[in-house]
Amino acid sequence: MYAYEVLKMVHQPHEVNETAARSGAAHTGGNMVTSDSGNENTFQFRDTLIRLHNGIYILSVDDDGERNAMPVSWVSQVSFDPPIVMVAVHPSRYTHHMLESAGSFAINLLRRDQAELVPRFKLKGEDRPKKFEGLKIAAGVTGAPLLEDAAGYIECEIVKVYDPGDHTLFFGRVVDARLNDPDAAVLSVDQYGKSYG
């Protein structure tokens, strides 16, 4: 299974939560809101933005022999040719400086039955090395740790970095991608039940 097929698994909208969509529409009243119009609109922005469909992935990196990984949901394909994906990472994440230094990353695609893996990849401080405990890990072409039991992975070399707001956007050109399980549905925020942000 090659890069194009794997990229198709980066989450696509599949179901609309109609109740949520209706309550969001009622809340905003369908009116145009602007970013400088105060707290009520800040709430409306947030309430509306969390309805964007997102998958949940494990972003992994190897920086000169040091490995780390973290859950991410702000991920998108941004180019077919060449294939490029983007991940948004807050500068406070330990992973952030590792990405800048390593210049590469992997996006591991979790299956829907792997939701229980998400909390361990949030471990901080001295617990951080426990993130990979007991998991089968392979090294990708970039060195990034790949979860062998995941649905698949996308490996990237960073070609552009942009910081338009409070997260840094890392744009990565796909250098390898593979599906371990082409039939697996990929974990989404809808299914996980918790949203980022």
Ligand X SMILES: Cc1cc2nc3c(=O)[nH]c(=O)nc-3n(C[C@H](O)[C@H](O)[C@H](O)COP(=O)(O)O)c2cc1C
1 or 7: CB nearest ligand X: 7
The two tokens of residue 19 are: 């109740």
**Distance (Å, whole) CA 187 – CA 58:** 11
Question: Which parts of 153-192 interact with ligand X (CB under 6 A)?
Answer: 167
Question: Which one of 51, 120, 128, 173 is in contact with ligand X (CB under 6 A)?
Answer: 128
Q: Is 109 in the site for ligand X (CB under 6 A)?
A: no
Q: Which of 60, 62, 63, 95 binds ligand X (CB under 6 A)?
A: 95
One residue of 6, 9, 70, 102 binding ligand X per CB under 6 A: 70
Q: Report the candidate in 147, 140, 133, 145 with the shortest Cα–Cα distance to residue 180.
A: 147
What is the distance between the terminal CA atoms of the chain, rounded to a whole angstrom? 33
Do 136 and 162 form a contact (C-beta atoms < 8 A)?
A: no
Please report whether residue 2 would count as binding ligand X according to CB under 6 A.
Answer: no
* Residue 122 found at the interface with ligand X (CB under 6 A): yes
- Tell me the window of 7-15, 116-124, 157-165, 176-184 that interacts with ligand X (CB under 6 A): 116-124
The verdict on 94 binding ligand X (CB under 6 A) reads: yes
Span near ligand X by CB under 6 A; candidates 10-18, 21-29, 90-98, 172-180 = 90-98
Please list, in sequence order, all residues whose beta carbon lies within 8 angstroms of the beta carbon of residue 154, skipping any fewer than 6 positions away: 3, 6, 7, 10, 85, 106, 107, 109, 174, 176, 177
Whether 69 contacts 27, CB under 8 Å: no
| 71 belongs to the binding site for ligand X (CB under 6 A) | yes
Binding residues among 48-67 for ligand X as defined by CB under 6 A: 56
E strand or H helix that includes residue 190: helix 189-192
Q: Under the rule (CB under 6 A), what is the footprint of ligand X?
A: 56, 68, 70-74, 88-90, 93-95, 118, 122, 124, 128, 167, 194, 196
